[in-house]
Amino acid sequence: MNMHFDHVTLGQRVLFGSGRAAGNLAAEVARLGAGRVMVIASGSESSLAEEVTSRIDVAVFHDDVAPHVPIAHAEAARAVATQNAVDLLVCIGGGSTTGLAKAVALTTGLPIVAVPTTYAGSEATNVWGLTEDARKTTGVDDRVLPGTVIYDAQLTLSLPVELSVASGLNGMAHCVDSMWAPHTDPINRALAAEGIHALAAGLPAVKSDPRGLAGREQALYGAYLSAVAFASAGSGLHHKICHVLGGAYNLPHAQTHATVLPYVLAFNAPAAPEAERRIAAAFGTGTALAGLDALRETLDAPQALKDFGFDETQIPEAVELILPYVPDSNPRPVTATDLDALLRAAHAGETPSL
């Protein structure tokens, strides 16, 4: 069969090195010629942010960060940027922090230097998300792609093992979804497979040795690959489900992705044999689901949506909200009955089955 695809690689500078964040950030600010820097970091990350920015002049620190980027928070941050004549955004933190910087860049066009402290992967995508009236809207715009990403595994040492697991499995979800997302291609699949392999090696190492850098470096590397694949391949069924659940019911982002992933994999795998084989090979197991299940067991991964505030009575509404966003290209047709069964299994934490 002839190979035919259309792939776009996003332009981004990546600086990777443990213990190098402050130096790398100072060098980037100088390279970009920025004079008015706005640093976005949550209050819980304030001491870390001060350490990372110790070698640059900061015009304003902004810590009004919230999950799923509520529109009011986005508008407040935009106003701060305008009032302080900011010419560069530096975001230090997880997906919510990066998401807020993207919201500012979306309307101002300001460049972003992202310094991730989790494995969320948002820093490597041109995807933005905003929540208003319990509904999350996402979109794609190159203005929100950080121009530079600074990875430093030392910055993830403060991330507890439980959150590291959930965040890393969020990255794993980017990889799996990229195998059959609407714009997937051989390059995305290659990146996603390597991302699965790296995360499957790195996350157990983080759990067994939380203070060790080797596992956290592997997890960061895998998270970056997962995000690059996702940015090109687009949102598949898994992400459509999780974006609705997060926005409508205020569920925690990483834990929701970590919980829903095996159920989507079990649903799609029989209809996508080539993708299933690649995922299994990346895990080094006989089947993709066996590999994911074994990893989740090793990691004591999140098990049920009911543990994070999702009520069974909300499932019929969630099905109605998700169904219009199911990609036509999903390997298997998705009905309301299918979604209902998937969400009920994920709510209860039942064992996923093909």
* Domains assigned to the chain: 13-156 (3.40.50.1970), 161-348 (1.20.1090.10)
CA–CA separation, 182 vs 186, rounded Å? 13
What is residue 200's predicted lDDT score, i.e. its pLDDT?
98
The total number of residues shown for the chain amounts to: 354
CA–CA separation, 310 vs 325, rounded Å? 20
Mean pLDDT for the chain? 95
297's CB contacts (< 8 A; 6+ apart) are none
What is residue 4's predicted lDDT score, i.e. its pLDDT?
85
What is residue 7's predicted lDDT score, i.e. its pLDDT?
87
What is residue 130's predicted lDDT score, i.e. its pLDDT?
93
Positions in the chain short of pLDDT 50 = none
State if pTM tops 0.75: yes
DSSP state of 40: E
**148, 15 in Cβ contact below 8 A?**
yes
CA–CA separation, 162 vs 290, rounded Å? 22
**198, 129 in Cβ contact below 8 A?**
no
What is residue 59's predicted lDDT score, i.e. its pLDDT?
98
What tens digit of pLDDT does each residue of 322-353 get? 999 999 999 999 999 999 999 999 999 999 98
DSSP 148-171: EEEE-GGGGTTS-HHHHHHHHHHH
**68, 96 in Cβ contact below 8 A?**
yes
